Amino acid sequence: MKKITIIAAGLFLSVSSFAQTWSVDKMHSKVGFSITHMKINEIEGDFKSFDATITSSKADFSDAVMEFSADVNSINTEVEPRDKHLKSADFFDAEKMPKITFKSKSFTKLKGKEYKMTGDLTMHGVTKTVTLMVTFNGTTTNLMSKKEMAGFKIVGTINRSDFGIGASMPASMLSENVSLRINTEFSKG
């Protein structure tokens, strides 16, 4: 029994030793969103402060685990009064719930560069499972830092009401659906 335990522990260590952690390059990444205002116009915004990592042992990232967080107080729509309102209890309630987090549960290769990522998104104190579509843009070596880099585009749609955000705002004022568009570069190691 002792020999089996040692072999199993050795196999676990050898598999986990191949896993690599990739950190988001914040200077070359953007976490954006848009929502329809009064059924006639898309209002866009982003989060200026965020962090993300990917852990994967496969070159094609088919076993990837992505973790992400954003600071609600960094929300930016280019209109200061609107940003202040979004941080208030009417929407995100940033004072009480300052973080948005996501952790993937699956990262499934569909075909070519296309993946489906499912995970738990926590926003406004509510956690829901969401599915996002990912395009793996490939890897390259950064000529300046000499680090290996990987690029991803992540898109999806979430329902703000599922998270209790803007509950007093009717869909005729703000659409229920919020589109996400995240462009990222990650550095290895």
> 58-72: per-residue pLDDT in tens?
999 999 999 999 999
- pTM score of the predicted model: 0.88
For residue 17, what pLDDT is reported?
Answer: 53
User: pLDDT per residue over 115-168, tens digit each?
Assistant: 999 999 999 999 999 999 999 999 999 999 999 999 999 999 999 999 999 999
Q: With pLDDT > 70 as the criterion, what percentage of the chain qualifies?
A: 91
Q: How far apart are CA 171 and CA 37, in angstroms?
A: 9
Q: How far apart are CA 62 and CA 113, in angstroms?
A: 10
For residue 47, what pLDDT is reported?
Answer: 98
- pLDDT at 12 exceeding the cut of 90: no
- pLDDT at 13 exceeding the cut of 90: no
Q: What is the mean pLDDT of the chain?
A: 92
Q: How far apart are CA 150 and CA 164, in angstroms?
A: 34
For residue 188, what pLDDT is reported?
Answer: 95
Task: Report how far apart, in Å, the C-alpha atoms of 70 and of each of 57, 90, 109, 143 are.
Answer: 25, 19, 26, 29
70-92 CB burial, b ≥16 within 10 A, e <16? bebebbbbeeeebbeebbeeebb
Cβ burial, residue 24 (10 Å; 0-12/13-18/19+): buried
- pLDDT at 4 exceeding the cut of 90: no
DSSP, collapsed to helix, strand or coil, labels residue 163 as: helix
- pLDDT at 34 exceeding the cut of 90: yes
Where along the chain do its domains lie? 20-188
User: pLDDT per residue over 45-55, tens digit each?
Assistant: 999 999 999 99
For residue 18, what pLDDT is reported?
Answer: 77
For residue 1, what pLDDT is reported?
Answer: 52
- pLDDT at 10 exceeding the cut of 70: no
For residue 150, what pLDDT is reported?
Answer: 97
| CATH code matching the domain that covers 20-188, chosen among 3.40.50.300, 1.10.760.10, 2.40.128.110, 3.30.750.24 | 2.40.128.110
Write out the two tokens for 106. 């699956």
Write out the two tokens for 84. 């202040």
Give the residue-averaged pLDDT of 27-47. Answer: 97
99-135 CB burial, b ≥16 within 10 A, e <16? ebebebeebebeeeeebebebebbbbeeeeebebebe
For residue 48, what pLDDT is reported?
Answer: 98
